[in-house]
Amino acid sequence: MKWDPHIHAPGVDSFEFAAMTPIYEQALIRDPDDIGTISWLAHAYTRIGRISDGLELDIRLTTLLPDDPTVRYNLGCSYAMLGRIEDALAALEEAIDLGYRDAGLMREDEDLASLRSDSRFRMLLERI
């Protein structure tokens, strides 16, 4: 199972993410391709409001794990939070094409709130 901060960091609040972020940033300097560190840091950045920084790491993860549907889903979330609707929908479509199937999470995920009124988002949910 790949490391997923949604699963492996439940109940961690923004203060804890902010406190741990410098440690993970140092770890990333030592090993810039460590997938666990990149994933954790991308999630932490998002949770502490550094969404653009999280997006950069999500993009990096897509190059390291091009066939991972969760990575594409997280990329879609980052784009959606930045209001980049077209990019968000494209990333979510790629996630579904790669096998993403958690319609419940996708429907309820607050990161995707900016997409809920878009008919294309509803069509993606129907595809799942």
**What CATH number is associated with residue 98?**
1.25.40.10
Model pLDDT, residue 22: 74
Model pLDDT, residue 23: 80
Q: Encoding tokens for residue 48?
A: 């502490």
Helices (H), 2-102: 5-8, 14-30, 35-47, 51-64, 69-81, 85-97
The residue ranking higher by pLDDT, 11 or 79, is 79
Model pLDDT, residue 1: 34
- Least Cα distance to 25 among 2, 48, 1, 4 occurs for 48
Model pLDDT, residue 11: 53
- Least Cα distance to 42 among 26, 21, 63 occurs for 21
* pLDDT of residue 6 exceeding 70: no
Listed in sequence order, the residues at least 6 apart from 36 whose beta carbon sits closer than 8 Å to its beta carbon are: 3
* pLDDT of residue 3 exceeding 60: no
pLDDT band for position 118 (50/70/90)? very high
Model pLDDT, residue 72: 97
Model pLDDT, residue 12: 56
- Least Cα distance to 39 among 11, 79, 68, 82 occurs for 68
- Least Cα distance to 112 among 104, 41, 44 occurs for 104
* Candidate from 14-18, 32-36, 42-46 with smallest mean pLDDT: 14-18
Q: How far apart are the first and last CA of the chain?
A: 21
Q: Which domain holds residue 117?
A: 5-127
Model pLDDT, residue 123: 96
pTM: 0.84
Q: Give me the helix-helix angle, 51-64 and 69-81, nearest 10°.
A: 160
128 vs 106: CA distance, rounded Å = 10
* pLDDT of residue 18 exceeding 70: yes
